[in-house]
Amino acid sequence: MLLLVGLGNPGSNYTNTRHNIGFKIIDKLVEKNEADWEVKKLAYYSSFKKKGRQFLLIKPSTFMNKSGKAVRYWALKEKIPLQNILIITDDLHLPFGILRLKSKGSPAGHNGLKDIENQLNTSNYPRLRFGIGQKTRPFDQVKFVLDQWNETEKTRINKRISVCTEAIVCFGLEGINSAMNRFNGK
């Protein structure tokens, strides 16, 4: 069994912001697999099976910097080992649309990942980072991540989200090493 966690902020004013890419990616995965969302404890919840593997998906209903509580709850409730959890999030330090899968790592300043690390008492869990960075510096990082996609990004976002869903399914069916080899930097 796998637990896939898309990070974002609840509420319509955050829907199309860069910081909510984790929600967007996981929404697309649920749509592609003809599953539905349910409101459950601490999260929006969905599930589907693919090639004999059970995929559980959540979008924490807390704000991003408190996502760890939902991750911890669902991992314990469903008895999912750390290596079968995948956190999907934005990364300000990667160029737009670039993917980086890792089996563990630091939060790199990401408050959602910091909270997950605190709740799980470890940084040894897989994550998929979606690049939202821009080349122009300096800039207001908080404003940037909470802004909506610019026109150039809007033209490329759906294709990049589709690649992310392929990477997630690869993780679920073939493991983190295969997914890293096939999708990192793409």
The residues annotated with a catalytic role in the active site are 19
Place of tokens 């704000």: 63
Residue 107 one-letter amino acid: P
What is the sign, positive or negative, of the torsion defined by CA atoms of 173, 82, 105, 32? positive
**What residues pair up with 45 in beta bridges, in sequence order?**
38, 58
Q: Is 54 exposed, middle or buried (0-12, 13-18, 19+ CB in 10 A)?
A: middle
CA-CA-CA-CA dihedral for 85, 56, 46, 153, to nearest 10: 40
CB 85 within 8 A of CB 126: yes
- CB atoms inside a 10 Å sphere around CB 91: 21
Kindly state the DSSP code that residue 149 receives in the 8-state scheme. Answer: P
